[in-house]
Amino acid sequence: MPGKYHIRAAPVPNRFPRISRSGILAWPEGCLGCNACVKKACIYGVYSESSDPGQVKGALDYLCQSCFRCIQSCPGRTLYKSLNPEYSALGDAYWTPEIVSGLWYQAETGKIPVSGAGYGGAFAGPGFDEMWTDMSEIVRPTRDGIHGREYINTSVDLGRKPKALEFDGQGRMTTPEASLVEIPLPIVFDLLPWSPLPDRIEQAILEGARQTGTLAVTATAPKEGGHRDHVILLLDDTEPPDRELVAGLKMVEIKDGPEVGARQAQLKEIDPSVVVSIRMTMSSESPYRARQLAEDGAEVLHVLANAWGREADGSGFFIKDRVKGIHLVLVECGMRDQVTLIAGGGIAMAEHVAKLIMCGADAASIDVPLLVAMECRACRRCAEGIECPIHLEDVDPAWGGARIRNLMAGWHSQLLEVLGAMGMREARRLRGEMGRSMLYEDLEREFFSTLTGKRN
Amino acid sequence: MDTSFPVPIAVFFCHQIDPDQDRNRRPLERELGSMIRFYPLPCSSRIGAGDLLKMVECGFKKIVLVTCPNGRCRYQVGNVRARKRSDLARKLVREIGCDPDLIATVVSESIPISIDTIVRQLLRDQKS
């Protein structure tokens, strides 16, 4: 039996102090100097820099767990707690401060973020939040944890698979051998929707791909070196492919267009073992286009929404719904098992990967989380031509790669948790398992239609 | 924008002044680049004299602390305390032989108001 896939995470410190959700307001002017300072007793060490407990000094906000003990116990009432404006300004309505800070935590530690007892948020919302996964197999604590004896396989195959194997009269297989690329987790790294000068950032992403064993889409493939095995080279569709560059690569990507079939044939002629992925912008036409491409011999379809998981044409369709549509069209025409479907855009959390696979994708491609792993604040100042507040362009590729590795370690652990809770042992089997999910709109229709009549 | 104003400049401000501060400060960040730094605070009283002196040490030519109008502080006296700390920092700067006008306190005329408006007005006033 092959060794288990396991991402070995190790803490990678932040370059900048963590941005905490709230901040302490400590006023020295009102201090009674009672020397029974509640700050001395803070079990999280928020005030550890204060050598004299009689003096209120700067607090290490990011250590604060918001227990409010100091605020309630200070006899002089000199302490207040307030929301941190820098935290509130992180990301946007989709890439919320909670998501961004959760990604930072995982990139720093490689651990699953635990929010503590109780859940204070809403139980449904737009996008992925209107989909709940089946956890019916949680009947007992796992015998020895997610990394124990119960092996859950998260690897997936990218490439075109034969519908059936054919043999000649002598029993020899006549079906040509399929060229497939196996990646150990159903995630590939995609091009970034925005970033400062990308040189060092791209190197960090490739390093992250190398350390996790997956692939990263890049427009400039290294000519040699260890990273070459982890590249999906995005080819320019205006020039003929560079034979030297393509030969020996595992996978290349071309943009969808009228000549896409001919370009795929050209690439297969250069190197028959190379897997060709077709990059498609997600739209209402995607299901029919996917069917057409699959019938024409496409190997991998890479469907992309924008950074917020929506279609770029402004229809507002969310990625999970469109992927479900593509999957069902391919099932209907009997080609689903032959073609590989990768979907990306708006994947912000590990659970989104599992949900997207349940909707019918074989794997997910991620982009913004790679930047956030390197402490990006998702403020998109770089896209507006404003200097990056954390100078992401100067990032050390080794440090960035380790942060991405840690993030993937956290996501891999969460995938194992989700699969284990569903009683599944393979990520491949999760594909299209819509029966293991509940959709808020379906439940709403089911429950309220009896009260309000037809509800759509 | 005319950058004849002494730069680099650091702007500390209470976020109650401008709840949409992250959006509103971007035009100035685009125009002045690394020559301007904004530091939104939960309350202007979060800043201490030591922090202001540290900014002087870092080479900022102007350090501005923007507080809420009198009587409008969410924490009642935060803006008053902030001004005292700024005054203390100015005094210390004078004592070490530097120009105390390196550090300035600006009381916002109203809230909410765009931080961009406040800083542009400040830059105009300084030039004239």
- State the DSSP string of B56-110: HHTT-SEEEEEEPPTT--TTSSHHHHHHHHHHHHHHHHHHTTS-GGGEEEEE-SS
User: Which range among A24-33, A311-320, B99-108 shows the weakest confidence by mean pLDDT?
Assistant: A24-33
Helix axes A319-332, A350-358, angle to 10 degrees: 30
Give percent above pLDDT 70 in chain A: 90
B30–A86 CB contact, under 8 Å: no
CA of A51, closest CA in chain B: separation in Å?
A: 16
Mean pLDDT of A366-392: 95
pTM: predicted TM-score of the whole model, two decimal places: 0.91
Residue among B22, B34, B81 whose CB faces A387 most closely: B34
Q: B44 touching A, CB under 8 A?
A: no
Q: Residues A145-166: pLDDT tens digits?
A: 677 667 889 999 999 999 888 9
Q: Residues B42-96: pLDDT tens digits?
A: 999 888 888 899 999 989 999 999 999 999 999 888 999 999 999 999 999 999 9
Q: B36 touching A, CB under 8 A?
A: no
Mutate to test the interface with A, among B46, B52, B76 (most CBs of A within 10 A): B46
CA dist B98 and A157 (Å) reads 68
Q: Residue B21: helix, strand or coil by DSSP?
A: helix
* Domain with residues A22-83, CATH architecture: 2-Layer Sandwich (3.30)
CB pairs under 8 A between A and B: 49
Fill in the amino acid letter for A124: A
Give percent above pLDDT 90 in chain A: 57
Chain B positions touching A86 (Cβ under 8 A) are 40
Cβ proximity of A351 and A112 under 8 Å: no
Q: A312 touching B, CB under 8 A?
A: no
The β-bridge partners of B62 are B9
For chain A, give every domain's residue range.
22-83, 156-444
* Whether residue B40 has pLDDT greater than 70: yes
Chain B positions touching A28 (Cβ under 8 A) are 48
Q: If you classify domain A156-444 with CATH, what class do you get?
A: alpha beta
Tell me the pLDDT band of A39, cut-offs 50, 70 and 90: confident
CA dist A198 and A444 (Å) reads 45
Q: Residues A101-116: pLDDT tens digits?
A: 999 999 999 998 876 6
Mean pLDDT of A372-383: 95
CA of A369, closest CA in chain B: separation in Å?
A: 21
CATH topology of domain B9-127: Rossmann fold (3.40.50)
Chain A positions touching B81 (Cβ under 8 A) are 27, 29
CA dist A190 and A328 (Å) reads 25
Q: A25 touching B, CB under 8 A?
A: yes
| Average pLDDT across chain A, whole number | 88
ipTM metric: 0.90
Quick one: which H or E segment has residue B50?
Answer: helix B49-57
Tell me the pLDDT band of A117, cut-offs 50, 70 and 90: low
The β-bridge partners of A26 are A79
Q: Residues A175-218: pLDDT tens digits?
A: 888 889 999 999 999 999 998 888 899 999 999 999 999 999 99
Q: B30 touching A, CB under 8 A?
A: yes
Chain A positions touching B48 (Cβ under 8 A) are 28, 58
Q: Residues A399-450: pLDDT tens digits?
A: 999 999 999 999 999 999 888 888 888 999 999 999 888 888 888 888 887 7
Chain-centre distance of CA A429, in angstroms?
A: 20
Q: Residue B43: helix, strand or coil by DSSP?
A: coil
Neighbours of B110 (CB within 10 A): 9
